[in-house]
């Protein structure tokens, strides 16, 4: 009965490592690129600012895809 808990524990640790790496990356990006990553669109007009984070959303989508596929793969390997 302990086997499912061990698998969940490993997944939680892996998720924590991924979140730690993502947090460190965000701190670095915020320090060296305060306006966002290259590819983000910012339109400034008097009384209005529009920010469209295209490159950020693509990067987050790639990261999310990798994480989801890794979790699904780990789920199949454990069976």
Helix (H) or strand (E) holding 41: strand 41-45
pLDDT of residue 46: 95
| Cβ atoms of residues 39 and 33 within 8 Å | no
9 exposure class (CB count in 10 Å sphere: 0-12, 13-18, 19+): exposed
pLDDT of residue 56: 83
Predicted TM-score (pTM) of this structure: 0.50
pLDDT of residue 40: 83
Residue 67 to residue 61: CA distance in whole angstroms: 10
Residue 78 to residue 64: CA distance in whole angstroms: 21
Could you read off the pLDDT tens digit of each residue along the chain, which spans 79 residues? 567 778 888 888 988 998 999 889 888 877 776 666 778 888 899 999 998 888 888 988 999 999 899 888 877 776 6
pLDDT of residue 71: 84
Name the residue ranges covered by the structural domains of the chain.
2-77
Residue 27 to residue 52: CA distance in whole angstroms: 20
């Amino acid at each position: 009965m302990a086997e499912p808990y061990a698998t969940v524990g490993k997944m939680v640790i892996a998720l924590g490592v991924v979140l730690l790496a993502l947090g460190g990356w965000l701190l670095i990006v915020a320090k060296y690129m305060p306006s966002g990553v290259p590819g983000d669109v910012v339109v400034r007009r008097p009384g209005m600012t529009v920010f469209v984070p295209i490159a950020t959303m693509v990067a987050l989508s790639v990261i999310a895809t990798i994480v989801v596929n890794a979790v699904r793969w780990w789920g199949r390997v454990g069976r």
